[in-house]
Structure 1
């Protein structure tokens, strides 16, 4: 037993516990773990009603229920993205009231069809602008592995809830590392899919010019593979709907990047974990191809600029439509001002740079099938390391890039990337590795991740609520 959402779904399907019992266990865990600040909004009645409906279906239509990969599994949506009907998203901001709740997005409908029972929203920084989840509106999200440290952002609440065992899996979004950074902070699996692989409509526009993706943070690679397979395809959006490419079980050419330059140094222990992962794969017969920081440096810089410009212009447009900008946090207002001041010609240049980032990565993938690289430069930083009570956008961006130098690369290029823990440091915090692959190559990415996971270098600290032992 892996102690994941797949195990919990099997227990419910086989009658070891009911969906209602699983939901009550998650609600009880949420109450116990409230000081973590993982959950921004809770709807107990919604969760129990959904679970009871699952139990009725399991009794009356067992075949239909069995076809739902995650039938009866409690989960949480993120307070950013979606939307999920009945869950009033505020994007971590005072700008929006917690009332109503729009109709399901295409993705939300697929979550429900997969059998998930939703009961709340997880904490996100205001408009996802930070690699910590500490919105002024509250709650302040802490890392369950060390509450003095961040759980990451912007899907920090999702990661904290999954790592703490409140739920076994949770919805998450990623526009600049927002799935992968929290997963890396909390010892979880986080995959940002290929651009266009997961539906992003119909009401979420162009997903920040294509840099944002939605999926989940997970406790196992098999959960990540299963939810990706269940949710992917037929996106009906502005981007191509890629078909996954299965590289089979042959010999992979694995690029190895174990440096992030003098400007963004990565701790030796974290680089050692990447080298250890490479040795494991080399021992299986895969070819290791050393790569240098010089091959990435210009793309990392261009990705950081593109992220800043796209997010800033998006916020400028949002505030033009929504008004009441003074209710937002100072840093958010500063990003909106930055967006208003950005000439259209500068934005056009940035978008063209982003295309060249993708092109340069494609040329790298002529030589390798995937790339092993750092996810974080250090252990999860202390609470308060990414304050939002100032207006220095450059300083904020620099702090985020220093913490996760290679995070934006996958978002700007559109390529899939996955992080998983491969050991722990002297403070028992996870040592994450990141794997990136060409567009549509999620099967190979997940296959390599599963092999590394099988080494057993990381064990979850908290059991999944309700899962029979």
Structure 2
């Protein structure tokens, strides 16, 4: 029975289920799970049309698509995907024109995905929860009083609940990895320059943002990265694949969380994962929070500043009514608008120094195992946006995911994978960093840890009974 998108594609390819039947089951699952708030916009007709078009393709064309006929959802932020009216979780963008496909969206379709809607995102991605005031409020399928994280929380909730087997997601400050960690999924944040950014090639968020997916399995993440990445054609060079000098890896292990209040179970699981890899012949190198504390804090600060600058500029160029946005969004826009040109340049320039200094950490290691989250998923309402204390808002997010922004600011790839469950049955995720171009290394390590079988998805994927 299909346990992930790859298996579902195989079931469709073998004829055990048609793409239309798979789509019908995903649409039914979306309706049955509407209370989760994972999906903010559904187009049944577009989904069925995409599935029917796939089913009519010649067999030789269907066979070369790694995700042929697989239903999926785009995020209400990023893209865009033609025919899906992205609003970025904001009332201010309601009724926006339906744009043409981005290069990435076109690759999603070329890989065989059949799209039928959008997943919930916080307004303009400014939260590690997915509770836009315009609605819907997104709940974690693993425990509905908890958040699935953000900003790709709707995507993660949809995949965890089995509405779809994989979903488009974006990551500018942990927005793929945090929701994946909250929902027991695999989330790969690619290297800067690995993913296409056309056709506009705008320097969106100074290069800290990237797109890919949240996945049920490492093999899905690997197949999605292979199908969707490469040949970005600007504005950043495609990273050269990282190859360790020796077969035996030097695995950095972050053994403490310094002043960050971290659930002890989430530190214990790091060592357990590291010991599993050590048993394969790799060498552990201990690091303390002091070794990366400045970089973690600097990255979080730069993320907050770049988000403010970017959103202030977008408010002007897009010409939307700022008064229709949430209070936190208005405060972030005001913060960005108040910055001088010199201040803005200094903030962007700090990205280069963060990348340089993170490279120096990797002079003695080939990868770094660190916490993804400091606690279990947060209760709903833990990241409110009905206030204007920007510092407090971003501090709350950093306390929950203290190293999330480091991958974005440095441009390094990072992956989160569940490695067990806590006493309440919620996932215990870990995060692994690698140098630029190190996706294959991360995927190999994540597959090794996944093979331990310490986490099981509680909900079946729609169409898995084929």
User: Given the two structures, how large is their TM-score scaled by the length of structure 2?
Assistant: 0.98
1:21-420 to 2 correspondences below 5 Å: 21-57=21-57, 61-98=58-95, 100-203=97-200, 205-247=202-244, 250-262=247-259, 264-321=260-317, 322-420=319-417
Conserved in 2, the CA contact under 8 Å of 1:19 and 1:73?
A: yes
Conserved in 1, the CA contact under 8 Å of 2:160 and 2:185?
A: yes
How large is the Cα RMSD of the aligned pairs? 1.2
Structure 1 regions of 5+ residues with no counterpart? Answer: none
Alignment deviations for residues 435-455 of structure 1 (CA, whole Å, 9 cap, x no partner): 000000111110000000000
Alignment deviations for residues 238-262 of structure 1 (CA, whole Å, 9 cap, x no partner): 1111233354992111000032221
Structure 2 regions of 5+ residues with no counterpart? Answer: none
| Structure 1 residue 301, shift from structure 2 partner | 1.4
Conserved in 2, the CA contact under 8 Å of 1:87 and 1:100?
A: no
| Structure 1 residue 304, shift from structure 2 partner | 1.3
Name the SS for the 1:127 alignment partner.
helix
Conserved in 1, the CA contact under 8 Å of 2:242 and 2:435?
A: no
Conserved in 2, the CA contact under 8 Å of 1:248 and 1:444?
A: no
Conserved in 1, the CA contact under 8 Å of 2:120 and 2:154?
A: yes
Distance 1:65 1:2, change over 3 A: closer
Q: Figure out how many residues of one structure are paired with residues of the other and give that number.
A: 465
Alignment deviations for residues 52-111 of structure 1 (CA, whole Å, 9 cap, x no partner): 111111xxx111110000000000000000000000000000111245410000000000
Q: Distance in 2 between matches of 1:202 and 1:16?
A: 37
Conserved in 1, the CA contact under 8 Å of 2:204 and 2:310?
A: no
Q: Distance in 2 between matches of 1:374 and 1:258?
A: 9
Name the SS for the 2:446 alignment partner.
helix
Alignment deviations for residues 423-445 of structure 1 (CA, whole Å, 9 cap, x no partner): 01111110000000000011111
Conserved in 1, the CA contact under 8 Å of 2:93 and 2:320?
A: no
Moved more, 93-102 or 74-83: 93-102
Conserved in 1, the CA contact under 8 Å of 2:2 and 2:8?
A: no
Distance 1:379 1:440, change over 3 A: same
1:415-430 to 2 correspondences below 5 Å: 415-430=412-427
Quick one: which of 425, 440, 450 aligns to 1:443? Answer: 440
Name the SS for the 1:338 alignment partner.
helix
Name the SS for the 1:254 alignment partner.
strand
Q: Distance in 2 between matches of 1:234 and 1:285?
A: 35
Q: Distance in 1 between matches of 2:38 and 2:237?
A: 34
Name the SS for the 1:112 alignment partner.
helix
Name the SS for the 1:150 alignment partner.
coil
Alignment deviations for residues 331-372 of structure 1 (CA, whole Å, 9 cap, x no partner): 000000000112222222222322111111111111111000
Conserved in 2, the CA contact under 8 Å of 1:302 and 1:354?
A: no
Conserved in 1, the CA contact under 8 Å of 2:240 and 2:436?
A: no
Q: Distance in 2 between matches of 1:104 and 1:173?
A: 16
Runs of 4+ more than 3 Å apart: 245-249
